Structure 1
Amino acid sequence: MDQVLFIVWRESVEALLVVGILYAWLKASPAAGQRGLRFLWGGVAAGLALSGLLALGILGISQFLSDDGQEYFQAGMALVAAALIVQMVYWMKKHGRTLKRELESGMSERVQQQNWWGLLVLVMIAVGREGSETVVFLYGTVAGADGSQMLGYAAAGLAGLLLAFATFWLLQLGGRIFTWRRFFQFTEILLLLLAGALLVSGLERLVSIGALPGLVDPLWDSSHLLDDSAGVGKLFADFAGYRSHPALLVLGVWLAYWIAAVGFLRRVGRKA
């Protein structure tokens, strides 16, 4: 549930940032007027609808699969979610400094051309991107949950959304401690940890159904020191991929992921 809260919180804040930038620009632009704002909110609604269609599509596909097919599908979605998280962190490191300028430039061009539908599409893509990522991340996280757990996940999602509005409000106030830069630096670390956890989850599913060899499974048993099914161990398992009974293959891929991710993102950070 902590994963769900974090994903909804982080993605909602980013979506609010995008919409907030475009809203502020339109309010300050005499050429846009109320018509521009109507197309802005229309783009937001279209982006949310696009995300909803993706969610229905994913759920529909999973319903038509056999038990083994669902295992493969859920493992695949967890791995796709992990890859998308890394891509999102990379994209934000590369474009975070110029995001506001790029959005306002695209908006200005469409307003000058009176291309209101182009403005709607711009907003729809921006919001739909965040919503679609949220759908994939959440499915990769909650796949296989039973009915009793889904109520808790829904509550965590609602809490994440409310927390996102509060966070956005605080960030808009500005300050030396709680700034947009520190927010992205902090959540970047958490996102990479979460991607590692989703990677482990997907690989474990494939090992459990025999699609991948565990090599040595389990490699060790550290449950007497830190159990991954409760308390702090469960938190580390959800957010960092910790396992008290790891398979050698899963552990090796997890270590390779961290070596590659840290090295690659450090290079991107230096270039940025």
Structure 2
Amino acid sequence: MEVQALLITFREVLEALLIVGIITSYLKRVNHTKYTKYVWLGAGLAVVASVAVALLFQVVFTGFAAMGSEIYLKISIMFISALLLTQMVFWMAEHSREMKKNVEGKMDRFITTGNVVGMVIHSFLVVLREGVETVFFFAAITGGNIGAAMQGWGAITGVVIAAFVSYIFFKGTMRVPLKTFFQVTGAFIILIAAGLLVQGISMLQDLNIIGSVMPHVYDLTWLLPEHPIDYDHYLRDHGVAPLLSGDVGVFLKALFGYSSMPSLEEVIAYVGYFVVIYLLITSRQSKTAKNEKQKNTNVEALQSETKHVI
């Protein structure tokens, strides 16, 4: 859970800090630092609102638990979080290149009209979006215990690393491109999303909401049990211990959705998820290459017409 919390918090906090940093840096560059306090006011209010959302979410979850329906809420959160995590990675990959230009364009309009309220609301919504996403993802990886994730070393470390990376980026001392950071962390986020998807399916099968054509495609308990209890049971039943500890299995299950005895549906969902991701990536790259080619063609045509006129 802590590693998941670290990666998620790092991504969300870094995205928020980058946008706020772009805004404040631009205001400094155009000699309008007097508006900086309004940007930070919006960001601060968003942090407070995010905490309020976390508390409200916890109250709702407790209400479901009192009705004995928390398991259905957990499953729903897992599926929605898997979708949101995937969307987050692709959104950042698509918009990171134009992010600076778009943010500065909005700031120009706010400065021109003297729209202080607009600045506050803009920074508020930017940070609030990241805060709400973090709350939702924490609920998914902890089974609803958001407070445990917020107070753990993973979330705290993620915030510290994100603040450090943001600081050295805007100080101009960062040598590794942010694109590389987002690609690496994005790969881990995708793995987490795949794990949540599979865990959701497993829980549905445990509740007999959906069946299984093949409950156990293979059994890797002899190599890596997914829980210390499975380790003990295997040792008791076979007289020999599995090669790896059940603690490792717990870690991998929490991080990537590892299962020592997955059903056929889990395997299909896991493999299918990555097939879809691969198709989306190749489609996006093909579209980008086509747009670049068209852009170059238009530039060449314009240059040719200019020479002809001259």
- With over 3 angstroms needed to count, the CA separation of the structure-2 counterparts of 1:246 and 1:67, relative to structure 1, is farther
* Separation of aligned partners in 2, 1:171 and 1:193: 27
Q: Residues of 2 paired with 1:270 and 1:92: CA distance? A: 18
1:189 aligns with 2:187: yes
Cα deviation digits, residues 119-158 of structure 1 (max 9, x gap): 11111111111111111111100115699xx389522211
Deviation of the 1:233 alpha carbon: 3.7
Change (3 A) 1:144 1:117: closer
- Tell me: higher relative CO, structure 1 or 2? Use CA pairs within 8 A at least 6 residues apart: 1
Q: Which runs of structure 2 are paired with 1:1-272 in the superposition (5 Å)?
A: 1-30=2-31, 32-34=32-34, 36-65=35-64, 66=66, 68-143=68-143, 150=148, 154-172=152-170, 173-176=172-175, 178-229=176-227, 230-272=246-288
Contact persistence 1:47–1:131 (CA under 8 A): yes
- The alpha carbon displacement at 1:266 in A equals 2.6
**Does the residue aligned with 1:64 lie in a helix, a strand or coil?**
helix
Work out which of the two has the higher radius of gyration on C-alpha atoms and give 1 or 2. 2
**Cα offset for 1:97?**
0.6
**Structure 2: which 5+ runs fail to align?**
228-245, 289-310
Q: Distance in 2 between matches of 1:146 and 1:48?
A: 15
Contact kept in structure 1, 2:141 and 2:254, CA below 8 Å = no
Q: TM-score scaled to structure 1, two decimals? A: 0.89
Alpha-carbon shift at residue 227 of structure 1 (Å): 2.7
Counterpart CA distance in 2 for 1:240 and 1:39 is: 40
> 2:94 corresponds to which letter in structure 1?
K
The answer to which of 261-270 and 122-131 deviates more is 261-270
**TM-score, length of structure 2 as denominator length:** 0.79
Identity of matched residues, %: 26
Out of 218-227 and 83-92, give the one that drifted further: 218-227
Q: Take 1:211 and 1:115, find their aligned partners in 2: how far apart are those partners?
A: 53
Contact in 2 for aligned 1:93/1:268 (Cα 8 Å):
no
Q: Which amino acid aligns with 1:73?
A: L
**In the comparison of the two structures, how many residue pairs are matched?**
267
SS at structure 2 position matched to 1:223: coil
Structure 2 Cα separation of the partners of residues 104 and 151 of structure 1 = 34
Further displaced range: 17-26 or 60-69 = 60-69
Q: Give, in angstroms, the shift of residue 9 of structure 1.
A: 1.6
Measure how far apart 1:29 and its partner are: 2.2
Once superposed, which parts of structure 1, at least 4 consecutive aligned residues long, lie more than 6 Å away? none
- Shift of residue 162, structure 1, vs aligned partner: 1.4
Q: 1:81-128 deviations in whole A, cap 9, x for unaligned?
A: 111011111111211110111111111111111111111111111111
